[in-house]
Structure 1
């Protein structure tokens, strides 16, 4: 198990609706909801990006949102963009492969060599971290040791969020609460992944701060792995 000493400190940051959803429906871009954030909250998001060494989202989020993941609304340097993509099949016209900020695509040893070369031709770094799929603990170790990443934020979808929490790689969670209910049994929520079998498997949080940012409630938690309630 990767420890805090050989991986970056990790913040999970996301906007969620009152019923915990990330989008309007399965396959819809999160940008639709994000446009309803208060301007002050947009500044908070971009200030946070500027404070971190790297930002990570999953490849499926890139396919749907085609985000830039850069600092735009405040002064500051854009972080290294990190995209786990086991088979290196990220669309080559993705905005994260543009020149706005450095990018690292994490792949597995199973990724086709021609796809890897095509990504490198776009100017991105390629990190091999795992045999058949990207192993997130290994990826975070590489990011710290070879790229100098001490602080990593993730703006992931439910799959990346689940795997990061399941591997005990998240230290803090910051949520931007949007005053909407969208419903839908298959609408993506903050964390996807496997169902748990008992309350013993719940990941416990400690609420450390909450405040209004413009018109949005923001809550901040520490993640408590394996600690008693």
Structure 2
């Protein structure tokens, strides 16, 4: 199967947190990004074919996922959600940019039909979205480069399946703490150093007052 070249892009605190608390919006932390850091984020959005977040990010943050701080095209917005559980008043369902909702074949038909009245809906996987099949479907729809601004669960599921090529981080100079506060990658986690995903630092630089680090994932031969 083919898949898009995939980059996880996220703002993270010094201790790797995405939000102030579980269930809180990441916009609370993103408001502390200066204009140059926001330009960096939106420059990336303008360069890719698609931008992906998880359904929880839609429910919590209700983002637009459009290009604003720079000139450029809006990428196709993509949301995997096994139960088609997207509020019908979500900003991504408006006509600012193309949107694809990816759901499972067992998702409730009434929810799927309601979404199909607004945006394109793809179905793959029986009880949950098959992310590998999803990536192949997206590639065949012209999504050759994909930016993921997802939460910790989506990041984990993509990384554990080997579906990510780069990680780019905008560092926010805070320490938040909290055992249950979402980090960049959540999920079950790996149990041995033979399993962990290894990265190579490709670049580090300042944009405004923020450190940016860009990492390549080292796939084993």
Give the corresponding residue for 1:167.
Answer: 161
- The superposition leaves residues 186-222 of structure 1 with CA deviations (integer Å, 9 ceiling, x where unpaired) of 0000000113222112110000100000000000000
> Does residue 1:139 correspond to 2:96, yes or no?
no
> Does residue 1:130 correspond to 2:115, yes or no?
no
DSSP 3-state at the match of 2:25: coil
- The superposition leaves residues 13-44 of structure 1 with CA deviations (integer Å, 9 ceiling, x where unpaired) of 00000000000000000000001012101001
TM-score by length of 2: 0.98
TM-score by length of 1: 0.95
- In 1, the alpha carbon distance for the partners of 2:40 and 2:189 equals 32
- The superposition leaves residues 86-126 of structure 1 with CA deviations (integer Å, 9 ceiling, x where unpaired) of 1111111110001111100000000111111100112x100
> Does residue 1:119 correspond to 2:115, yes or no?
yes
Count of residues paired in the alignment: 221
Give the corresponding residue for 2:90.
Answer: 94
Structure-to-structure mapping, 1:1-229, within 5 angstroms: 2=1, 6-122=2-118, 124-145=119-140, 147-226=141-220
- In 2, the alpha carbon distance for the partners of 1:44 and 1:196 equals 31
Gap regions ≥5 residues in structure 1: none
Displacement of 1:47: 0.9
CA RMSD after TM alignment:
0.9
- The superposition leaves residues 110-160 of structure 1 with CA deviations (integer Å, 9 ceiling, x where unpaired) of 0111111100112x1001111110011111100011x20110000010000
- In 1, the alpha carbon distance for the partners of 2:161 and 2:103 equals 18
Gap regions ≥5 residues in structure 2: none
- In 2, the alpha carbon distance for the partners of 1:104 and 1:57 equals 11
